[in-house]
Structure 1
Amino acid sequence: MTPERLARIKQVLNTRQPDLRVLTDQVHKPRNLSAIIRSCDAFGLANMHVVWPKEGFRAFRKTAGGSFHWVTTHTHPTMDNAVTELKAQGHKLYAAQLSDRAVDFREVDYTVPCTIIMGNEVDGVNPVTAEQADEHIVIPMMGMVESLNVSSACSIILSEAQRQRKLAGMFDQRRMPDEEYNRLLFCWCQPTVKRYCDDRNLPYPPIDHETGELIDGVGWMQEVRKLRANRPRWDDQPENVAED
Structure 2
Amino acid sequence: MSEKRKEKLYKVAANRQNLTVILENVHDQHNIGAVMRTCDAVGIHEVFILYTDARQKNITLSDLKTTSTGVKKWVNIHLYNDLEKCISDVRSKYKFIYATHLDADSKSIYETNLSESVALLFGNEHAGLTEEALRMADGNILIPQVGMAQSLNISVACAVTLYEAFRQRQNADLYSDSIDDKNAYNQKVFDEYLNTHNEAYLRGRLNSKS
Shorter-chain TM-score category?
0.7 to 0.9
Q: Decide which moves more: 149-158 or 128-137.
A: 128-137
- TM-score norm. by structure 2 comes to 0.84
Deviation of 1:119 (Å): 0.3
Deviation of 1:181 (Å): 2.8
1:152 aligns with one of 140, 149, 156: 156
Q: Decide which moves more: 74-83 or 111-120.
A: 74-83
Deviation of 1:101 (Å): 1.1
**2:22–2:49 contact (8 Å) kept in structure 1:** yes
Q: Which residue of 1 aligns with 2:137?
A: 133
Q: Deviations over 1:178-211 (max 9, x none)?
A: 3343122221344244899xxxxxxxxxxxxxxx
Q: Which residue of 2 aligns with 1:118?
A: 122
Asked if 1:178 is matched to 2:187, the reply is yes
Amino acid at match of 2:84: D
Unaligned 5+ runs, structure 1: 197-244
Instruction: Give the aligned length.
Output: 194
Q: Which residue of 1 aligns with 2:20?
A: 21
State the distance in 2 between where 1:60 and 1:93 align.
24
State the distance in 2 between where 1:7 and 1:130 align.
41
- TM-score norm. by structure 1 comes to 0.73
The 1:4/1:164 distance shift into structure 2, 3 A limit, reads: same
State the distance in 1 between where 2:204 and 2:106 align.
44
Deviation of 1:59 (Å): 3.8
Asked if 1:188 is matched to 2:187, the reply is no
Residue 111 of structure 1 aligns to a residue whose secondary structure is coil
The 1:135/1:129 distance shift into structure 2, 3 A limit, reads: same
Runs of 4+ in structure 1 off by over 6 angstroms are none
State the distance in 1 between where 2:47 and 2:72 align.
11
Amino acid at match of 1:188: H
State the distance in 2 between where 1:191 and 1:73 align.
18
The 1:32/1:90 distance shift into structure 2, 3 A limit, reads: closer
Q: Decide which moves more: 121-130 or 171-180.
A: 171-180
Residue 70 of structure 1 aligns to a residue whose secondary structure is coil
**1:102–1:137 contact (8 Å) kept in structure 2:** yes
Unaligned 5+ runs, structure 2: 206-210
Q: What RMSD, in angstroms, separates the aligned Cα atoms of the two structures?
A: 2.2
Q: Percent identity?
A: 26
**1:111–1:161 contact (8 Å) kept in structure 2:** yes
Q: Which residue of 2 aligns with 1:100?
A: 104
Residue 72 of structure 2 aligns to a residue whose secondary structure is helix
Residue 115 of structure 1 aligns to a residue whose secondary structure is strand
Greater RCO, 1 or 2 (C-alpha within 8 Å, sep 6+): 2
Residue 21 of structure 2 aligns to a residue whose secondary structure is strand
Amino acid at match of 2:15: T
**2:102–2:140 contact (8 Å) kept in structure 1:** yes
- Greater Rg over alpha carbons, structure: 1
